[in-house]
Structure formats: structure tokens, C-alpha cells
Amino acid sequence: MTSVLGLAPVIPVVVVDDAATAVPLARALVAGGLPAIEVTLRTPAALDAIRAIAAEVPDAVVGAGTVISPAGVSSAVAAGARFLVSPGWTDTLLDAMKASGVPFLPGVSTTSEVVALLERGVTDMKFFPAEAAGGTPYLKSLAGPLPQARFCPTGGVSLATAPAYLSLPNVACVGGTWMLPPAALTSGDWPRVESLAREAAGLGGRGAV
């Protein structure tokens, strides 16, 4: 099982209300240099969106976000999700994600949660909600005692703050929504999305996985 960390410096976090927009949206993100796309399981259209992207945008690495139950793991993988992201974790959820056979990023916001995951052999994690949970100072403080943990901070991260996160030795990428302005999604302004994605991709990566 490979890691999703390092595919691109930024993982777009997508909330899809209409599955018909999923394919052009994904194509715009991929064209802009952001192949890893997290579709959150927050809407009825999410699984259909994942199916469509998996089937029609071969260069995309589509994943499922807001995975909070074993049932969510199963349905996401069945729809074609190639990675899983959760806002937090329990032993039951972690077992299901491990058994899925796809890479996953369990969410953490405390040192104890990080240590508990390391104890379970998990080193790749989502730091959420990043800004509210302490931001770059918090993650920087974890690098010394827990250097083996690698993070994808998500939650309040912006184009302005992303470079500070990416400069940390324990941050491989960030998750964000700023390249997906609601007005552009509503109007189908995919060139705008592609342009913002290209700007985000230019923040610098950690190399391919």
C-alpha cells in the first residue's frame, strides 16, 4: 500500500452537490497539476461523483473524505476511491481503513492521538482542524519528539498560509478548498479552477510517491 502524501503539495477538498459537475471539475484540477482529489462524503452526490471521476478521469487519484464509519469505508472503496481521509479515528474505523487495501489518512488533533496511531503502525495522518487545533506552531512542536509522523494539515488552510505549513519537515502536503471558489463551481468556470489549481500546485511538492 502506497501513500497519498506527496502526490501534490495540495489536495483539493471537494464538496459535490451535483454529480454532473464532478468530471469537469476533476479534469480542471488535474490539468492544473493537482491529481489527488478528496471528495467528501457530506452530500448525497458524493459517491456518484467518485464513481464518475474514477471512470472518466484516469489521471485523477480520487479519494473519499469525511469517512467516519466502516460502512463509509466500504461504500467509498466500492465507488472507486483510491484513498480515504477521516476527520478523526477510532479503533473500529482504523481497522476498517487498514482492511480496505487503499491508503488512508486518519485525522488527529492531539499529541496522544498521534502517539496512538504510531503505536498502531500508522505514520501518515491528517491534522484537522489545522488552524483551530494550533496551526504551524503546533505541528512544528511535534516534529522533535515525533519525527516519524507525517501530516496533511486541513481545515482553514489558505493560499497565504499553505507555504508555512509546507515548509515544516513533518508536513508532506496540505488540504484546502481555496482553488474551488463557489462562484466558479456554480457557473462552471473550469478555466478559473484550473488556474487556481496551477497556482496551488506551484507551491512546491515533496516528490512523487
Which residues form the catalytic set? 38, 126
Residue 56 CA to residue 44 CA, distance in Å, equals 20
Q: Burial, 83: exposed, middle or buried (Cβ in 10 Å; 0-12, 13-18, 19+)? A: buried
Could you identify the residue written with the cell 457557473?
187
Q: Which three cell numbers stand for residue 205?
A: 511538492
The single residue listed with the C-alpha cell 489536495 is 11
> Cis omega before residue 129 (within 30°)?
yes
Grid look-up 488533533 returns 109
Enumerate residues 6+ apart whose C-beta is below 8 A from 90. Answer: none
End-to-end, the C-alpha distance of the chain in Å comes to 11
CB atoms within 10 A of CB 39: 33
CA 80 from chain centre, in angstroms, equals 16
